[in-house]
Structure formats: C-alpha cells, structure tokens
Structure 1
Amino acid sequence: MVAAAGASQQGLASKHMAGRAEGVSQNLTGVWSGRYFYPRELPPVSFVATLIETATSLTGMTHEPAATSTARYASLQGQREGNAVSFTKTYDKAELKAHPIHYSGIINGDATEIKGTWRIPGYWSGNFLMIRSPGKVAAVTRKVAERV
C-alpha cells in the first residue's frame, strides 16, 4: 500500500514538472495588451491589463477607451489553476459595477498569451485575447521584486 502511494505521488510530481517544462507554471505578473470582441457586428475593444499573480491568486487592473470619457478603469480578481485562468472584472464607475464581467481563459505554453471567453450573465458574451511579449515578463518581475 505504501509503495502504491509513493508511485501515485511520483506520478503527480511528474505531471507537475511536465507542466513547468511546458511553461504553463510561469508567473503571469506583468503588463498585457488585450482585446475583447462583442457578438454581432460591434467593434472590438482594446485594453491594457496589469496582472499580479501570487500563488494561485490573480489580481490586477485594466484600462480601456470609453465613448463618454477618456478611459474606463476596472479591477480584476481571480485565480489560476495550471494553464487555466478565471477572473472577474469590475469597473470602478458606480453605474458599471452592477454588471461584473466574468473571464475564463487558457494560457499558452510560454505564458505570453491568454485566450478565452467573457460573459455578463444574462446579457452579453464574447471572446478575448491577451498578449505580452517575453521581454516584458522579466522587466515587470524585476520591478515587483525590487518593491518587496
């Protein structure tokens, strides 16, 4: 029985290390450029997101253009499990807080792209894409390390 438990733990460790080799365990902290797409013929919206990953927790902020003001700002709160992320975006303006937006996506192998879907339950849904360049990962990681 002990040997079986040991073999099971080795199998889990191998799977965990395989994920690291593929890059899916790389920290997501950094600045991301993104775009979300509406259904029908509405134009896509570009945004910039700053993500901070701590263990499995994911937090951050976004800003994007707005039709009536210079920009819309929102906070992000979510989690990561392996190569899957999910987070909720809540806009700072009171009239927009009533409709939090739920995002669910998959991280690519080198952790430079997150692709998935967004939805406002009962209203809208669509696709999104977030991209960061590998060079920005190291720069942002250094800044975070210096602050701590």
Structure 2
Amino acid sequence: MHDCSGTWDGLFSYPRRYDPTSFVAELRQASEWLTGSTQETAQRGLYAGSMVTANLMGKIAGRNITLLKTYDRPDAAHDAVRYIGELNEAGTEIDGTWVNNSWSGRFLMIRARKRHTQRSDAELSRLLVAARSAR
C-alpha cells in the first residue's frame, strides 16, 4: 500500500455552469487514517476571489479513499464536501466523485512534483482529460 502523505495538486469540476476549480491538498497518513488541509481560490459566494482553506479527515482502505472536507469559513457556497475516490496502482493519482448538500461532480488529485510548483488550471484540465480517456 502506498503512503498518501504529501502534497497533491487537484481539480474539481461542477455539474453546471461553473469552471473547474484547482486546489492544493496536503495529506498526512497514519495507518489507514488521513488528515490534511486544502487551499483554493473561491469561485463564487461570499469569499469569491479570495483564498479559502479547509481541513480534511478521511480513511484509506486498499485503494479506496474517502475524505471529508470542511471549510474554515463556511458559507452557503462552501458546504462540507465528501470525496470518494480511488488511488491508482502507482500511488500518484486519486480520481473520483465529490458530493455536498446539493451538488456533485468529479475530482482528480495528482501527487505533486518533489519541488512543489502548483500546476496551472490548463495543465490540470489536460491531465484530467487524459486520465479519464485512459480508463
């Protein structure tokens, strides 16, 4: 089993009219338990355009990962989010679905390079399309 600790570049998509949102996640794994945090630029709501942070708690069982993301400054646009995904065999990607109180969509997290420079939204979108095409 791979240790998921480290920095991950992510992208989540909406089912409707909003553009995908990129984020950076820091994960820490202790046995099957996962904790961590995320940073993203809010696309809508009270904090649109500002950096928002959230805490992560979850579990890994085999390659199946579940995470609960709770925003530090919740508002109507930032409900708690549940992520349900699968770690690829190489331990470099987590692909799955996110769900909150009213919406759901897809997400992809890619293990960051050794020296972290956040990937651009365009690069993450390209990787998301490539990963889904390969399945």
Asked if Structure 1 and Structure 2 have the same fold, meaning a TM-score greater than 0.5 normalized by the shorter chain, the answer is yes
Rounded Cα–Cα distance in structure 2 between residues aligned with 1:97 and 1:60: 21
Q: Alignment partner for residue 125 of structure 1, among 94, 100, 104?
A: 104
Q: Which residue of 2 aligns with 1:111?
A: 91
| 1:140 corresponding residue in structure 2 | none
Structure showing the higher helix proportion among its residues: 1
Root-mean-square deviation (Å): 2.0
Report the alpha carbon displacement of residue 136 of structure 1 after superposing the two structures with TM.
2.9
> Which of 56, 65, 84 is 2:64 aligned to?
84
Partner of 2:114: 136
Structure 1: 5+ residue stretches without partners: 1-24, 138-148
| C-alpha distance after superposition, 1:102-122 (max 9, x if no partner) | 00000001100000000013x
**TM-score, length of structure 2 as denominator length:** 0.76
Change (3 A) 1:97 1:69: closer
Task: Classify the secondary structure of the residue corresponding to 1:95.
Answer: coil
Which protein has the bigger strand share?
Answer: 2
Structure 1 residue 127, shift from structure 2 partner: 0.3
Q: Which runs of 4+ in 1 moved over 4 A?
A: none
